[in-house]
Structure 1
Amino acid sequence: MDILELLSTFSVIFYVIIGLFILSFIGLFFTVKQQTAVIVERFGKFQGIRTPGLQVKIPIVDRIAAKLSLKIQQLDVVVETKTRDDVFVKLKISVQYVVIQEKVYDAFYKLDNPYSQITSYVFDVVRAEVPKLKLDDVFEKKDDIAIAVRGELQEAMNGYGYDIVKTLVTDIDPDEQVKQAMNRINAAERAKVAAQYEGDAQRILIVEKAKAEAESKRLQGQGIAHQRREIAQGLEESVNVLNKVGINSQEASALIVVTQHYDTLQAMGTLGKSNLILMPNSPHAAGEMLNNMVASFVAANRIGSEMEQKNTSEG
């Protein structure tokens, strides 16, 4: 081997060593992000946990086994179960959990799949609690279900390095036929309430209308009574005036009746919109009317006297 070949071989070895050194130097340092924990293993054995910042590991010897987020995470689990009144319902349970910073080792090495573990506990608790409740109670007591799930998960997962921050029942979805039936029941209930309100309103209108009509008739009766009192008072004054000039009561009454008769005829003739009315218009008409009125008064007085005497004799 000549000198040139020897130099060439040494050059290759040199560059290989330099390359390995650079790669080793690059692999020596690494950074850990905020709210993250890095587990480092040495030849497959746990070596340590690295916190956020610039960290060092021995190239080739050490390796990063896992990066665990210390942020709050959420897992949504949909559970289908049956209520006490035999209604199938789907519940969506949202579980918010976080890796406990002091138990990163347990969170990585003790539990292979935290999602499956949490899901299993959620299924177990929900299918134990919901069958005790009716469908309406499931909606009303969803917070109690969430608290039961959190209590069971907290006790189980804490030993694996996980803290259960909160559990929420975010959705309750009954079977489609059940939802349609519930909607029909609600619609019928609302229609019933609307009908009751409409009936009450109608009844109030009828009562108020009856009160208004009664008040109207009362006022109308008072007006008629007042009108008749005024007419009677006017007739009395007219008779008194006629008596003062030597006309007796019967003649005064006849004169008033005749005067009213002709005043009525005159008023009816002057009304442009009046209907056709046929009335006696002879000179004896007023007298006949007066005689009939007097005869009626006399007969009524006689009948009243006879009935009063009969009642007295029977008593």
Structure 2
Amino acid sequence: MFPIYIIIFLVVILLFSSFYTVKQQTSAVVERFGKYASTRTSGLQWKVPVIDRIAGRVNLRIQQLDVMIETKTKDNVFVKLKVSVQFKVLQEKVYEAFYKLEYPHDQITSYVFDVVRAEVPKLKLDDVFERKDDVAVAVKRELNEAMSAYGYDIINTLITDIDPDIQVKNAMNRINAADREKTAAEYEAEAGRIRIVAKAKAEAESKRLQGQGIADQRREIARGLVESVDVLNRVGINSQEASALIVVTQHYDTLQAIGADSNSNLILLPNSPQAGSEMLNNMVASFTASNQVGEAMKKANSTKRKKQGESNNDDEDSE
């Protein structure tokens, strides 16, 4: 017979081997003589020594599987897509997840390939970028229908990367750069047009104000000349002599202004001492001749109108 201490030792080993722990967010599948017996949750658990065994443990946390797929778009552009599938095992369906599906990652990958290669060829390359969420929703819907029977819940599917062929990518970058340069050129042209219009408006306003100033200046000069002529007329100087005298005065004022500028190179001809008296005599003679011509034209016009009036009267009498 075995010694008693050996028997006690074996009993202690069997007793301790019958206890085990299950981690949080994990389920343990227990089999008895090779047949499913129970599913144990987290904590300290017990099984019958020798008879029961832990067949495996199932992770209940959310997992992520990244699937790289190469496919062709509607406009014959090869593109690589990275699809991230987030999934987990339902706690109430640990039996199905453990016994019905041996390689869940391979199963999920196959469904992702099938859906993406069915959806992307319907879209052009630009539409793939714009409607990637629609493709992700289609993948999630198909996976949920297929994997729910195996105890898997598809939390989310994301298309995290779209990588076209390198030549297509370079062409897209050139198109984008050209479009941006076109937009920049349009903005620069519009800014230049605005600057030209603003400058033209400013110049027009400046010219208008300048013309108004010149008109005001001439108006005041004319008013001053009229007043000067009136003053000279009151002292016995007729209008022609007064006008000539004013012009001569302005002539000497101009000479004085030119002489005050030490850097002036202007030479005014004639500039002899007799130039003033000659200018005055010439102006008086010119004004006198102009008045005589004016009076003669007035008389001629008056005579012409008188004759025309008499002719009209004769015509009326004859009628």
* Conserved? CA contact 2:73–2:125, under 8 Å: yes
Equivalent residues in 2 for 1:104-253, closer than 5 Å: 104-253=94-243
* Alpha-carbon distance in structure 2 between the residues aligned to 1:194 and 1:125: 42
Once superposed, what is the RMSD of the aligned Cα atoms? 2.7
2:40 matched residue in structure 1: 50
Partner residue of 2:279? 285
Determine if contact 2:68/2:83 at 8 Å carries over to the other structure: yes
State the alpha-carbon separation in 1 of the partners of residues 75 and 282 from structure 2. Answer: 92
Does the alignment pair 1:73 with 2:67? no
SS at match of 2:135: helix
Give the structure-1-normalised TM-score.
0.87
Distance verdict in 2 for CA 1:83–1:280, change over 3 Å:
same
- Cα distance in 1 for partners of 2:58, 2:298 equals 117
Contact 1:90 1:172 in 2 (8 A): yes
Task: Return the letter of the residue paired with 1:144.
Answer: D
Give ranges in structure 1 of 5+ residues lacking alignment: 1-9
| Residue from 38, 50, 53 that aligns with 1:60 | 50
AA aligned opposite 2:278: H
Partner Cα separation in structure 2 for residue 192 and residue 72 of structure 1:
48
Cα pair 1:261 1:286 within 8 Å, conserved: no
SS at match of 1:278: coil
Q: 1:126: Cα distance to partner?
A: 0.3
Q: Deviations over 1:28-76 (max 9, x none)?
A: 1011112111001122211211112221112222211110011111111
What CA distance in whole angstroms lies between the structure 1 residues aligned with 2:159 and 2:285?
99
- Tell me the secondary structure at the aligned position of residue 258 of structure 1: helix
Contact 2:65–2:84 (CA<8 Å) still a contact in 1?
A: yes
Which residue of 2 is the match for residue 3 of structure 1? none
Give the secondary structure class of the aligned counterpart of 1:276: coil
What is the rounded CA distance, in whole Å, between the counterparts of 2:224 and 2:295 in structure 1? Answer: 24
Inter-partner Cα distance in structure 1 for 2:299 and 2:121: 92
The equivalent of 1:26 in structure 2 is: 16
Amino acid in the other structure paired with 2:104: P
1:250-261 alignment, distance < 5 Å: 250-261=240-251
* Cα contact 2:30–2:36 (8 A) shared by 1: yes
- Aligned 8 A contact 1:94 1:169 in 2: yes
Asked whether the equivalents of residues 240 and 288 of structure 2 are also in contact (C-alpha less than 8 Å), the reply is no
- Following the alignment from structure 2 to structure 1, what is the Cα–Cα distance between the partners of residues 292 and 97? 122
Shift of 1:267: 1.8
Identity of aligned residues (%): 66
Deviation at 1:125, TM superposition (A): 0.2
Using the TM superposition, give the Cα deviation of residue 79 of structure 1 relative to its aligned residue in structure 2, in angstroms: 1.0
Tell me whether 147-156 or 21-30 shows the greater mean CA deviation: 21-30
Q: Retained in 2: the 8 A contact 1:257–1:290?
A: no
For residue 131 of structure 1, report the CA deviation from its aligned partner.
Answer: 0.5
Q: Determine the structure 1 residue equivalent to 2:79.
A: 89
Measured after TM superposition, the shift of residue 302 of structure 1 is: 9.3
- Contact 1:146/1:167 (<8 A) preserved: yes
* Equivalent pair of 1:126/1:149 in contact (CA under 8 Å): yes
Query: Which structure 2 residue ranges, 5 or more long, are not aligned?
Result: 309-319
- State the number of aligned residues: 299
- The secondary structure found in structure 1 opposite 2:154 is strand
Q: Distance in 2 between matches of 1:242 and 1:303?
A: 28
Q: Secondary structure at the match of 1:189?
A: helix
CA gap 1:150/1:234 in 2 versus in 1, 3 angstroms:
same
d(CA) in 1 for partners of 2:299 and 2:80?
95
Shift of 1:276: 2.8
CA contact (8 A) 2:84 2:160 kept: yes
